[in-house]
Amino acid sequence: MTEQDFSISEFDRLFGSREHCRNLFATLIDLFKEGFFITDAGGSFLHVSPSFCTLFGYSPAEFLRMSMRDIDIQGRLDDFVAGIPRDEGDHAGAYETTYRQKNRGSVDVEVTVVRYSLPDAGVRFVGLVRHIGDRKKTQTALRESEERFKLFSHASHEALLLLDDSGKILYANPAALRITGHEDKETRGMEIHEFLRPSHYSDEQKLQLAIAEVMPLSSIPEEAVEADRVLDFSITGKDGIETYIELSLLSEKVGEKWHMIALFRDVTDRKKTLESLRKSEHKFRRLFEDTRDAVFISTPDGKVVDMNRAGLELFGYRTKEEMFELDIGRDLYFNPEDRKNFRDAIERYGGASMHDLALKRKDGSMIVVSITANAVYDEVGKLTVYHGIIRDLTRIRQLEQQVHAFQKMDVVRELIGDIAHHINNVLNIIVGNAQLAKMSPDCTEEVGSYLSTIEDEVFRAADMVDELLASGSRHPMDMRTVDVGAVVADFEKMVRKIIGEKITTIVSLPATPIMAKMDVARIGQTLLNLILNARDAMEGPGTLTIRVNTEELTDVTTTLDGKIAPGSYAVISVADTGRGINSNAREKIFEPFYTTDMSGGKKGLGLSVVLGIVRQHGGFVICESEEGRGAVFKMYLPLSAEKTRADRPVERGVLSGTETILVGEDEDALRKITAEFLKTLGYRVITAKNGEEALALFRESSGEIDLVLMDIAMPGMGGLDVYHEIKKIKPDIAALFMTGYSLETSGLGAVQKQGISAIRKPFTMAGLGRKIREILDAGNGQ
């Protein structure tokens, strides 16, 4: 008997027939909260679990007509497959991605997938999909609680045992092994009570009775007590440590055989917490159920009787004794009149639930809270105290403000993209006419110089458009080696207009160039944001100082941002004479969504985004400030040894050709200029004013056309739609797309990865000619 024969025989002995095994594991899969799927090598679904269907809103029948690409928005499965070495067999991996739902919504998921090969059926992909939307939102909103939520996430993994009809263990998952201390090789054939080892005889009897309830065993111990399907008892691990578990049992008949599934989790910490609460006094059992919220007892005349640790932290006091001396209405309420109104509501209705109020910390800062409180009366009906729970909503309100701001920013981004598209079209028309005019025999040297100036200014305007796109975070990084002083100098005139006449502006620039590699638009955005913050912090007359200099860090420097390596840095500093930042706020200002402005009036980038942009440049940001003494923000950017490169590369000789090109462009003037460019380069040109006409012309002359040059954004049928239809007619057709948007917002970012070429407007005749020649010479059918 071969090793393979033995494995199959052993498999049949353990699990029964393959059909029985299939049914058994289908039942097991249905128990998972995670969605389960199997696809073939091309990603088409072969099997999906009920949880998978529920998560995405499709029926099993619908899924069996679909492939993973129908829901995989980001194409992560394709990335997973692409990352597997060709000579590697079975492969496993995990990743996070976003899947599309039937209702056109989307859901964040964590996918664990395994690729394996079957001798007769080929490659299969098997995966588990866990919904992580809530977890991602929580991680984004409360990064400082990351470790706590990781603990919760780990605790959600249940231990699992699979047993045969005689109660012998067939399989124990890693969580079960971790909780009990067993090794996988010793679990096969072990009975469940041997595996779990209940600490007490009564617990073992409850376990046996529960097994008898779900499995057709021959007898039930007479001395056994009645057991529930969900058991709660302690077990003793191999290391001798006692652990409390919560256990659920269920059985399933597969063919003629019964199998049992045991699911359990470690509830030791929860048991200890409950035991501790049972030993506490009655008032603390009621008041400290959730220690993360503030719990208080106060008197009707406005004195604090008791406050838990969370309450002390919320209000910024170190000891209860400090709070005992306070007048609640005066010292804890932002508006003392709210105290009277809240007290009247409690006494009138006996309590108040989820009442939102503005309260005050020891340092005078405002916090927004939700209070649930009740009035307590003595045996003769006299009001004695109020007790209740205070939940801090400050961060939530800040997040709501930020979400609202982000929604407005999305609208602005769309508007910026449309404006950029139209402006780039106009710029392309201008530079095209200028170039054609320069080629005219009648063009004098003086006129040519004027036209060259027009060209230069067009591309300067194009850079401004790029800055607009960058401000909407829809544009790739454009790293250039530039003089930092010159970049700041360009801002000086604009800054004086923005901050107004009440604030004195001092700009200190170096006498010699300080070179650094940066995306000018994005660093400009961060500088503008720091200037706006400084202006708002001064709230009236003051002095704004902007300085550019260099610093040499000889040792590792530790900042709020982490440890910074030694080296030479260009430093852009923005200093104000405003209200300053206290030490507590200074430690949090670079956290996502953090702001000291409760009014929600800030319109710029958050400091966490500023920090992120500077980090992308290999730099860091520091803040020097004391309350009442202004603030200084410094951006450190690594110095560059490179020389500054020209804004526009010097163009080499234009490559001409004689091929036939179909041009699709809805802007009449730009279509005409583009056609003239190509004719001047020797090409035969066919023009179309929209996508529908381009497709019709291609159908008529597909044999003659060597390349299609299409605008992405056209009314009706867009350039990509036309291209996909053309490929059905002539699959090897060469193509080049034009766009006034950034490549990301035009939809070409992902498509370019497939080999499709694109050129951004405005372009020159030389640039267009070179791009077309490269595509045609490469014989790229895309």
Whether residues 300 and 267 share a domain: the answer is no
The answer to whether 708 touches 698, Cβ cutoff 8 Å, is yes
Name the least confident of 3-12, 100-109, 374-383. Answer: 3-12
Tell me, yes or no, whether 149 lies in a domain: no
Kindly state the percentage of the chain with pLDDT values over 90. Answer: 14
Whether residues 508 and 592 share a domain: the answer is yes
pLDDT at 782 over 90: no
Q: How confident is the model at residue 524 (pLDDT cuts 50, 70, 90)?
A: confident
Range of the domain at 86: 32-131
The answer to whether 683 touches 708, Cβ cutoff 8 Å, is no
Question: Looking at residue 730, what is its pLDDT?
Answer: 93
Q: Can you give the CATH number for the domain in which 221 is found?
A: 3.30.450.20
3-state secondary structure at position 394: helix
Question: Looking at residue 142, what is its pLDDT?
Answer: 55
Q: How confident is the model at residue 151 (pLDDT cuts 50, 70, 90)?
A: very low
pTM, full prediction: 0.36
Whether residues 366 and 346 share a domain: the answer is yes
Whether residues 307 and 347 share a domain: the answer is yes
Nearest alpha carbon to residue 648 among 445, 437, 452: 452
Tell me, yes or no, whether 691 lies in a domain: yes
Domain boundary among 272, 303, 322: 272
Whether residues 428 and 456 share a domain: the answer is yes
Domain boundary among 212, 242, 272: 272
Tell me, yes or no, whether 56 lies in a domain: yes
Average pLDDT, the chain: 78
Tell me, yes or no, whether 506 lies in a domain: yes
Average pLDDT over residues 377-385: 87
Question: Looking at residue 254, what is its pLDDT?
Answer: 61
Within 8 A by CB and 6+ apart from 254, the residues are 16, 20, 21, 23, 24, 27
Question: Looking at residue 746, what is its pLDDT?
Answer: 52
Question: Looking at residue 141, what is its pLDDT?
Answer: 62
Look-up of token digits 């506490």: 280
Question: Looking at residue 694, what is its pLDDT?
Answer: 93
Whether residues 490 and 618 share a domain: the answer is yes
How far does Cα 219 stand from its chain's mean position? 56
> Is 744 or 237 the better-scoring residue by pLDDT?
237
Whether residues 211 and 169 share a domain: the answer is yes
pLDDT at 655 over 80: no
Whether residues 766 and 666 share a domain: the answer is yes
Contacts 24+ apart (CB under 8 A), 652-657: 652/766, 652/770, 653/766, 654/681, 654/765, 654/766, 654/769, 654/770, 655/681, 655/769, 655/770, 655/773, 656/681, 656/682, 656/683, 656/769, 656/773, 657/681, 657/682, 657/683, 657/769, 657/772, 657/773, 657/776
Tell me, yes or no, whether 304 lies in a domain: yes
Q: How confident is the model at residue 218 (pLDDT cuts 50, 70, 90)?
A: very low
Tell me, yes or no, whether 643 lies in a domain: no
Q: Which token pair is 701? A: 């002359």
pLDDT at 661 over 90: yes
Residue 681 backbone dihedrals phi, psi, to 5 degrees: -80, 0
Tell me, yes or no, whether 259 lies in a domain: yes
Tell me, yes or no, whether 20 lies in a domain: no
Q: Which token pair is 724? A: 């996909």
Nearest alpha carbon to residue 155 among 34, 292, 266: 266
Question: Looking at residue 781, what is its pLDDT?
Answer: 42
pLDDT at 564 over 60: yes
Q: How confident is the model at residue 472 (pLDDT cuts 50, 70, 90)?
A: low
pLDDT in tens, 731-765: 999 999 988 766 555 555 555 555 678 888 888 78
Average pLDDT over residues 694-708: 93
Question: What gap in Å lies between CA 192 and CA 189, rounded to an integer?
Answer: 9
Name the least confident of 377-391, 584-598, 734-748. Answer: 584-598
pLDDT in tens, 707-740: 999 998 888 898 889 999 999 999 999 999 988 7
pLDDT at 229 over 70: no
Within 8 A by CB and 6+ apart from 26, the residues are none
Q: Can you give the CATH number for the domain in which 533 is found?
A: 3.30.565.10
State the distance between the two ends of the chain, measured CA to CA, in whole angstroms.
54
Q: How confident is the model at residue 322 (pLDDT cuts 50, 70, 90)?
A: very high
Q: Give the Å distances, CA to CA, from 675 to 170, 394, 586, 669.
A: 74, 60, 59, 10
